[in-house]
Amino acid sequence: MRAVDGILLTVLVENYVDMLLPDTDRVKRAGLIHHFDPKFGPVRAENGIAFLAEIYVGDYVYRVLFDSGFTADVILHNMRSLRVTASQIDHVVVSHGHPDHCGDLPGVLREIGHPVPVSVHPDAFWPRYLRLASGEVSPFYNFNINQHAWEQAGARLVLNEGPAEVGPGTMATGYIDRAVPFEPPRPAVDTGGGLFHLKQGHFQPDVVPDDQALAINVKGKGLVILTGCAHAGIVNSIQAAQEATGVKQIYGVFGGFHLGFPGVPEENTHQTIEALRRLEPQILSPMHCTGFKAIAAISREMPRVFLLQTAGTRIKL
């Protein structure tokens, strides 16, 4: 797989904002001045995730939007605040069909304003249901993830079940094999709750087969891997990226690790940390659904490579 010269990665949506985090040579934050300057307006947070990857190959820049958060309001506000021009986006990749990752993608597509390829696993559009152990249910919670609505808003769908090249040195993994014994993250016991979907007329447990990651190969450094929730498991996701690209070296991993889901045992976090150590990433940014306890544990156990992530952060890679 070809390598690119570099990436400017912008966090457009994340669960947290923090105007007090300092800049570094590599990382620029939407800090105090940005927060209070009326020319920009403070960035906003919501439960969700979205990245803009600006990929550099010589003088050429290719822009990939990975997920779009829960609402169009937040991502579009943050784009304006961060001076991101939506019409420059070349490709959209959707990690999976959950609302906190593509809940109002049509609103973003309309802002892009021109037809744009959208890479997504075809199972992302099946009706989904959530049931808690308490008996509470959220029926068809992904009702607004609609193939026709996306196409009407300008999506040119690229339905990929397997690996698909989406730009220079950039690959969507497609389906991620569940090979690691302690993944995907799941509750320690059957609590009677969980995710379900309606597929081809059958109501069945939802293992989120549409979950995929994005991998970008940076010259001399290795893979930058973006995940939405890593429902398949973060280690499985990294291995899928390595297999799809043929590149073993890991430069950075950014996104949800899904260790914060209710009932996931703490042992999963410890096993994940040990597996990540062996992969030797230079940067590790657990976000979104990783959960506070797991993020704190990773920061303690891998402080040299840990990078706390917030909405509005820009990283040169």
Instruction: Give the number of other Cβ atoms within 10 Å of residue 204's Cβ.
Output: 11
**For residues 246 and 215, is the Cβ–Cβ distance under 8 A?**
no
pLDDT for the residue numbered 193: 61
Full DSSP string of 246-281: T---EEEEEEE----STT--HHHHHHHHHHHHHH--
pLDDT tens sequence across 12-28: 999 999 999 999 999 99
Whole-angstrom Cα distance, residue 174 to residue 160?
6
For strands 60-66 and 50-57, give the pairing.
antiparallel
pLDDT at 75 over 80: yes
Instruction: State both tokens at 312.
Output: 């509005």
Q: Up-side HSE of residue 226: CA atoms within 13 Å toward CB?
A: 28
Mean pLDDT of 232-236: 97
pLDDT, the chain, mean: 94
**For residues 1 and 241, is the Cβ–Cβ distance under 8 A?**
no
Domains and CATH numbers, the chain: 6-177+184-316 (3.60.15.10)
Amino acid, res. 42:
P
Cis peptide before 184 (omega within 30 of 0): yes
Whole-angstrom Cα distance, residue 232 to residue 220?
28
Q: Which residues contact 171 (CB under 8 A, 6 or more apart)?
A: 1, 163, 164, 165, 214, 215, 216, 241, 244, 245
Amino acid, res. 126:
W
Whole-angstrom Cα distance, residue 196 to residue 140?
10
pLDDT tens sequence across 129-176: 887 777 788 888 898 999 999 999 999 999 999 999 999 999 999 999
pLDDT tens sequence across 34-64: 889 888 889 999 999 999 999 999 999 999 9
Whole-angstrom Cα distance, residue 114 to residue 102?
18
> What is the SS3 assignment for 307?
coil
pLDDT tens sequence across 265-316: 889 999 999 999 999 999 999 999 999 999 999 999 999 999 999 999 999 9
CA dihedral 74, 80, 86, 89 (to 10 degrees): -90
- Read off the pLDDT band of 251 (50, 70, 90): very high
In 3D space, the residue among 120, 123, 3 whose CA is nearest the CA of residue 68 turns out to be: 120
Whole-angstrom Cα distance, residue 90 to residue 86?
9
Instruction: State both tokens at 84.
Output: 């991101």
Which alpha helices (DSSP H) does 53-146 contain, by range?
72-81, 99-102, 105-112
pLDDT for the residue numbered 189: 44
Instruction: State both tokens at 75.
Output: 């991502």
